[in-house]
Amino acid sequence: MTVNYQELGLVNTKKMFKAAFDGKFAIPAYNFNNMEQLQAIVTACAESDSPFILQVSSGARKYANQTLLRYMAQGAAQMMKDINPHLKFALHLDHGDTLEICKACIDSGFSSVMIDGSHHSFEKNIELTKQVVEYAHQFDVTVEGELGVLAGIEDDVVAEESTYTRPEEVFEFVEKTKVDSLAISIGTSHGANKFKPDQCTKNAKGVLVPPPLRFDILEEIENKIPGFPIVLHGSSSVVPKYVDMINSNGGNLKDAVGIPSEQLRQATKSAVCKINIDSDGRLAMTAIIRKVFNDSPEQFDPRKYLGPAREELKQMIIEKNKVVLGSAGRGKEIFT
Ligand code: G3H
Ligand code: 13P
Ligand code: ZN
């Protein structure tokens, strides 16, 4: 059964990105795989009146079942009517890699999809992205494309420079594909180990300090496609308090390092309209669950550890919306 996102009470990203661009803030995109993550995201954004994008990766679709996930998102839209009646959100496919998965999501009520053709040649990326856009735009679904490859600790990144987005390619890509937003690579990366220790310096306390984001490349890109919404993936800060809590409660996260909040805040003042955060939520939940298990080894009721983990994630999201994204309190002006 196919369903359009409008019937589910969802919105595409157009209005949100326009407001974010004009207002110099960014829309947070949070990933979810289970009920507690979904509850935390929805209640945090409702309470802080923040527009947001609910993201589902292909891994999440496999983990939680694609049909169930879509109904969970629909349930969240319904719940939102009770807790913040004017607030709407987008349901977005994160890192879609084929036309088929994008079509399947669009047909099941997603309001936005990412087609990540960044590992293909420039020409193949254009061709694939264009096909997704042609399908999506028939239903007013927005599409995010990507140019440039994000470095990751798992990648054999030989020449760092070569993975950054090439500003000279962005105009042609956007014009030929008619994509609605563009994810770029300016030094962010996925996961909790965004940089190898030898790429970082150490501050006076011995804490790893990552290399700064390439704001110069971002500026060049903005000049090539003025007014066009830019997306940053891999933007967790890898909050040290959660890494410490994990490690002091039996965990073993080594050399975990993320993107400093001040740099993300700086990015929100530019054409960056969407910032993706997943790892920070995973770290927050894991930190609390480890602590509960350590402090109360007799506990075996999932509500006793998933409940506090959900509450921590909620508070973390409220804080990010207020302090990092600048999206808190913007819901009313966008949706009424
Ligand atoms: O960018 C990737 C997201 O963090 C989703 O991760 O594929 O493990 O669900 P996942
Ligand atoms: P993080 O791993 O930095 O949270 O990035 C998430 C992301 O980019 C999802 O697409
Ligand atoms: Zn990503």
State whether the beta carbon of 188 lies less than 6 angstroms from ligand 1: no
Atom of ligand 2 nearest to the CA of 192: 2
Name the band, by pLDDT with cuts 50, 70 and 90, for residue 163. Answer: confident
Instruction: Please give the positions annotated as active site.
Output: 94
Which pLDDT does position 308 carry in this prediction? Answer: 98
Best CA proximity match to 264, nearest among 322, 220, 182: 322
Q: Which atom of ligand 1 is nearest to the CA of 58?
A: 7
> Which ligand 2 atom is at minimum distance from the Cα of 94?
10
Q: Name the DSSP class of 174.
A: H
Distances (CA, A) of 149 to 121, 145, 192, 229: 11, 12, 17, 18
Mutate to test the pocket of ligand 1, among 30, 34, 94, 232 (most ligand atoms within 8 A of CB): 94
In this prediction, residue 206 has a pLDDT band, given cuts at 50, 70 and 90, of: confident
Is a pLDDT exceeding 70 seen at residue 156?
A: no
Distance CA 21, CA 16 (A): 9
Span between the terminal Cα atoms of the chain, in Å: 31
Give the ranges where the chain is alpha helix by DSSP (H).
14-23, 35-47, 58-64, 66-83, 99-107, 122-137, 167-177, 215-224, 240-247, 261-268, 279-295, 302-319, 331-335
Which ligand 2 atom sits closest to the C-alpha of 232? Answer: 8
Q: What single letter denotes the amino acid at residue 246?
A: I
CA distances (Å), origin 221, targets 28, 148, 173, 260:
21, 12, 12, 22
Tokens for 320, please give them: 């990010």
Tens of pLDDT, residues 290-334: 999 999 999 999 999 999 999 999 999 999 999 999 999 999 999
**286 phi and psi, to 5 degrees?**
-65, -40
- The encoded tokens of residue 264 equal 């993300």
Ligand 2 atom 3: the closest Cα is on which residue? 234
Per-residue model confidence (pLDDT) at position 161:
45
Cβ–ligand 1 contact at 84 (below 6 Å)? no
Pocket-forming residues, ligand 2, beta carbon under 6 Å: 31, 94-95, 190-191, 233-236, 276-280
Domains of the chain: 5-335 (3.20.20.70)
Average pLDDT, the chain: 95
CB 127 within 8 A of CB 89: no
Please tell me the residue having the least CA distance from ligand 1 atom 9: 59
User: From CA 223, how far away is CA 189, in angstroms rounded?
Assistant: 23
Do residues 76 and 40 touch, judged by C-beta distance below 8 A? no
What does the pLDDT read at residue 1? 80
Per-residue pLDDT tens digits for 28-49: 999 999 999 999 999 999 999 9
Ligand 3 center from residue 276 Cα (angstroms): 6
**Ligand 2 probe mutation, 189, 275, 278, most atoms within 8 A of CB:** 278
Q: Using a 6 Å cutoff on CB, does residue 95 contact ligand 1?
A: yes
Q: Which ligand is nearest to the CA of 236?
A: 2
Residue type, 249: N
> Amino acid identity of 296?
S
Confidence of residue 207 (pLDDT cuts 50, 70, 90): confident
Tell which one of 30, 31, 56, 153 to mutate to probe ligand 2, the residue whose CB is within 8 A of the most ligand atoms.
31
Find out whether the beta carbon of 60 lies less than 6 Å from any atom of ligand 1: yes
Nearest in space to 210 (alpha carbons), one of 177, 250, 238: 238
Whether 37 is in the pocket of ligand 1, judged by its Cβ within 6 Å, is no
The helix/strand/coil state of 277 is strand
Nearest atom (ligand 1) to Cα of 60: 9
Contact 29, 322 (CB under 8 A): no
Place of tokens 């994990």: 246
Express each pLDDT in 186-201 by its tens digit: 999 999 999 989 999 9
* Residue 159's pLDDT band (cuts 50, 70, 90): very low
Task: Please tell me the distance from the alpha carbon of residue 311 to that of residue 315, in angstroms, as a whole number.
Answer: 6
- The structure tokens 């890494």 sit at 243
Residue 158 has pLDDT above 80, yes or no: no
Q: How confident is the model at residue 152 (pLDDT cuts 50, 70, 90)?
A: low
